[in-house]
Every structure is written in C-alpha cells, then in structure tokens.
A and B are shown apart, each in its own frame.
Chain A
C-alpha cells in the first residue's frame, strides 16, 4: 500500500484529528467518523482537518484500507467487532488507569492484545499511541531529516506491520517494527518510550533494554 491507501479515522477527540491531519498531509484520502452523525463533526473537519471527509463510521470503514482506532478505550466495548471484519486496524488507544480510570477488561495483559482478541476478524497493529497528541504533529519530519524521530509499530502479522510502518514513515516518523502485539507492550503507558519522543537509535536502545520486549 502507498499514499493512495484510504484511511478511516474513528474518533474526533484529542488524537483522531491529529492523525487525520498528518495523513491528509501525507497524501492519503482520509475519512473521519465518530459514533454519531457526521454532520456533528462537519465544522470540526472543515476547520481543523481540512481535506478529510466526515462520514458515518460504517461507510468510512467499508471504503478504508486502514482503520485507525482513536477513541477512548473505555468506549471500545461499544464498537461492533463485525464493523471492522477483514480490516487492517491500527490501535492508537491506550490503557492508562492513572489518567482515564481503571477498566476491568484491560487489567491483565497488553491492551492491544485484548483489543485484537475482541476484533478476531481484523488484523490489529499497535501504533501511533505512544507520542502525545500535542507533539505528534510538531515533531513529524520527512524521511532523512536530521531531527526525525522514531515511532513503534507492533503486530503479529508482518505484512500488516509493514503497511503501518509505511504509514508511520509517510506521516513523519522512522518506524521501529516490533514482531508481535505482545512485544508492543513496550509502547504502553509506563513503558520506556510512552509520552516521550526519541530518535531511532535511542528508541531502539530503550526498547531493547526494557524487559517488556522479551517475549
């Protein structure tokens, strides 16, 4: 897949619009959707994410090559897994009890592994969750820029990981591939790269030295 691949971003809160804007800038056709009527986010889309299309989630997902989940994790349970059947899903959500409250369903194991179990018909890749929404756009740089930073991409399906790594690269980050969702726990809150922005060598070192990456 390339910059022609179509994105559906689910979520128009803190994170979704930032990812959508970066993807528009990278040349992707982008649709953005919430759980409700796209008319409710038309103004937001026009002014904050110019170039993206507000759509009903079902239609946005049906036409998408990549679906980005950028909703609060506590609302994930309301999503119909059937909606995402057969899709490549980027999980940009976080389980972060100190900030968002505890969720029983996410107390044990990596959050993306739990997401993937529920979305059994989808291919889930964990990415774009560990750089703060307030920095994600500001720190993005084209490939080869001396101050380009790294972004982790974790998943069990190597082809899907490669696709999302391509997306991460086009929106402005050197992708660091992690060979499983289990290994992607290193990207979670409390991990060595969460909330911080690091260039490739430092990112790789931080991930390597963390016990969570030992599968």
Chain B
C-alpha cells in the first residue's frame, strides 16, 4: 500500500512572538515560504483552503500555489478546499489546469464547502441553495476534467455547447477529491462522479467515519468505477513534546473556535474538551512526532485511508512555530507513520 501525506493551510493569519497579528500580506508570503519548505522537509502534498476572513485571509490560494510551484519540483499542490458552490466550475478548472501546467503536472483539486460560508454573500449566492449549486457544479466539473469539448446546460451558469476549455491537462487526469463532513449522500455523490473521497474530520471520534469509507467503495463498485483513495483531513500541531505542542496550540484553538462558534455551532472549547479531542479518540493531532504519527497510522487503518492531510497552523501561531511543525511532520511524523503502517 502506498501512503501519501500532506499539509493543508487556510492561510491562518500569523502572530508575532508577542501575539500581535502580522499583516495579511506577510501571512501570505509566509505561506509561500512554508509550502516551499514542506517539499524540503519531505511532505508529499501542500494544500491551501479558500477562506475570506481577517483571520484566514486566503481567498486566492491558487495564486500562492503558483508561487510555490515555481520554487519546488516534486511536491504536489492543490486546494483544500475550493468552495465550488460559490465559484464558476469553468474558472476553477482553468485555474487548476494552469497550475498543473506551471507545476509540470502536480496539481490537485479538493472540492467542498469547507467550513467556509463567507463566500456565499460575498459573491451573491444564497446559502439555502448550497446543495443544488454544489450538485450542478460538481457534475459540470466532472465533465470538464474529462477533457475534450463540453456540452452542458443548467441553472448554475451559462450553458456550454461543444466548448473547448483550455488549457488542456497535459498528463493524465487532474486528481479531484470531494471533501465530506458527515453527509452520506455526499459520499455517494463523490462515488457517482468518480472523484476520490476526502473525509474532513474536525471534531469527535474519527472512527465513526469508517462506514463512510465502506460506503464509498461499495458505491464506486455500484457505479462501475474502480476503487479510489480515501483521504483523512484533520487539524493539528506538531512540536518537540506533547506538552509544548498543546501549550502552543490550545490558546489559539480556544480563541478561534470561541470566535466562530456562534456561526458554526461549535461548542466553546474547554480544557476538558481539548483533552478529549487531542486524545486517541479525538479529531485533533496535537503532540510530539511520535504521538501524532501513532494517531495518524491508527486512524488511516480504521478508516481505510491511504492519504492523510494535516491542517496545520491556527491564527496567532508564529511563522517560526509553523516551520518547526513542518520540519517535524516531514522529517519525523511521516517516516514514522509509514513505518507503523508497514
């Protein structure tokens, strides 16, 4: 079995050593630096998730990915996630096929909603239409990645009649994943469209997603598709020791979750809930390289996954703390997780 390991960021706005926030621009330059460093550290994939807020100032991750592509040779690059419902599938395809061209075939796309809702009012969409928009646009996206002229009509955008959408993908299909947060009908949709499955597990016990993995493979078979990989995407932070990782991550996690809890329906974090989430049965991968590697290996096994993406960072953490996280993840966590998985 081949396993791959990625790092994802939402462009979490960095703090300085005194906790003062850095500018959006400096945060973005730091993300480019972190992406280039991830390759040196031995990470397989670097993903940037679309967000539109002051604490995640990252609405155009593909531009940053292009900068990273110019500075790297091997690492794969993609969105994590692209909020497809409030975007134009043709433009998404064009941006990532362009990234694929620049990077020599290293682009991937993860489609989903993420936990991002700001893009809906920003671009004039109604959140109540989310499902219908995603269904139509994902179906169109599946047509676009096949290559060749596309004929399509729907409510979500202007019709296409034998449209040649450029640039063409150079080598083989563009890898596309659908991010799923717990709706089994989204799992079925990913299988129907022939996209890989990304399980976004940001709270609660990861093992509860095991049936989704089985559902995905069974549905792929039913739709006549070959088996496809399953990714696990979860937040976390790696430092030299468990204590240090928790001490760095906890106040940042507490502050940001407390801030967004009312609109996302998250509980206000307590030290008790943090301990539960960072423990073996929780969704956060916070600790020493050994702790995090053990947890990754255990959950990939339980969930039938072959790809793990650590969503690293949290608003307020420093660029230096993130670089250490990346170094430890690439240098120690990934080799140890591979060893544990055999």
Residues in A with CB closer than 8 Å to B267 are: 132, 195-197
Q: What residues on B are CB-neighbors of A44 within 8 Å?
A: 184-185, 187-188, 215
Measured between beta carbons, the chain B residues less than 8 angstroms from A48 are 184, 211-212, 215
Cβ-based interface call for B17 (8 A): no
Q: Could you tell me if A14 and B263 are in contact, using CB atoms closer than 8 angstroms?
A: no
Across-interface contacts of B185 in A (CB, < 8 A): 12-13, 41, 44
Q: Chain A contacts of B131 at CB under 8 A? A: 72
Q: Is the CB of B215 within 8 A of A43?
A: yes
Query: Residues of A contacting B63 with CB < 8 Å?
Result: none
Task: Say whether B164 faces chain A, with CB atoms less than 8 Å apart.
Answer: no
A189 touches B265 (CB 8 A): yes
Give the bracket for the number of chain A residues in contact with chain B.
Answer: 20 to 34
Also in contact, A47 and B211, with CB within 8 A (given A99-B263, A132-B203, A190-B262): yes
Which residues on the B side are within 8 Å of A138 (C-beta)? 204-205, 208
Which of B39-47, B120-128, B243-251 forms part of the interface with chain A? Answer: B120-128
A100 on interface, CB distance cutoff 8 Å: yes
Beta-carbon contact of A134 and B203 below 8 Å: yes
Given contacts A12-B184, A13-B185, A196-B267, contact A100 B262 (CB under 8 A): no
**Quick check: A101 and B203 within 8 Å, CB to CB?**
no
- Given the complex of chains A and B, what is the CA–CA distance between A40 and B131 in angstroms? 17
A47 near B183 with CB under 8 A, answer: no
Contact with A along B261-285 (1 / 0, CB 8 A): 1111111100000000000000000
Would A14 and B183 count as touching, CB distance under 8 A? yes
Interface residue? A137 (CB, 8 A): yes
Total contacting residues, chain B, CB less than 8 A: 33
**Contact mask for chain B residues 97-141; partner A; CB cutoff 8 A; 1 contact, 0 none:** 000000000000000000001001000001110110000000000
Q: Collect the chain B residues with CB atoms within 8 Å of residue A56's CB.
A: none
| B208, A96: Cβ atoms closer than 8 Å | no
A103 contacts partner chain B, Cβ-Cβ < 8 Å: yes
A99/B264 in contact, CB under 8 A: yes
B265 proximity list for chain A (CB < 8 A): 96, 99, 132, 189, 194-195
Instruction: List residues 38-53 of chain A with CB under 8 A from any CB of chain B.
Output: 40-41, 43-44, 47-48
Q: Is B174 an interface residue (CB 8 A)?
A: no
Instruction: Determine the distance from Cα of A108 to Cα of B262 in the docked complex, in whole angstroms.
Output: 19
A40 to B191, CA, bound (A): 13
What are 22 A-B interface contacts by the 8 Å CB criterion? Answer: A12-B184, A13-B184, A41-B185, A43-B188, A43-B219, A44-B185, A47-B211, A48-B211, A98-B117, A98-B264, A99-B263, A100-B127, A101-B126, A101-B127, A134-B182, A134-B203, A134-B208, A135-B204, A189-B262, A190-B262, A195-B265, A195-B267
Tell me the number of A-to-B contacts counted with CB atoms below 8 Å.
78
How far is the CB of A154 from the nearest CB of chain B, in Å?
19
Give every chain A residue within 8 A of B184 (Cβ-Cβ).
12-13, 17, 44, 48
Q: Decide if B324 is an interface residue (CB 8 Å cutoff).
A: no
Select from chain B the residue with minimum beta-carbon distance to A94.
B265
- Cβ of A148 within 8 Å of any chain B Cβ, yes or no, is no
Asked if B53 CB lies within 8 Å of chain A CBs, one says: no
Distance to closest chain B CB from A57 (angstroms): 15
Residue of chain A at shortest CB distance from B115: A99
> Are A101 and B261 neighbours in the complex by a CB distance under 8 Å?
no
Determine if A47 and B128 form an interchain contact, defined as CB atoms under 8 angstroms apart: no
A43 engages B263 (CB within 8 Å) = no
Which chain B residue has the least Cβ–Cβ distance from A42? B222
A208–B184 Cα gap in the complex (Å)? Answer: 37
For residue A141, CB closer than 8 A to chain B, the reply is no
**Docked pose: A44 CA to B204 CA in angstroms:** 21
Q: Which residues of B contact A96 (CB under 8 A)?
A: 265
Give B325 Cβ to nearest chain A Cβ, in Å. Answer: 25
Q: How far is the CB of B132 from chain A (nearest CB, A)?
A: 11
With a cutoff of 8 Å between Cβ atoms, the chain A residues found around residue B183 in the complex are: 13-14
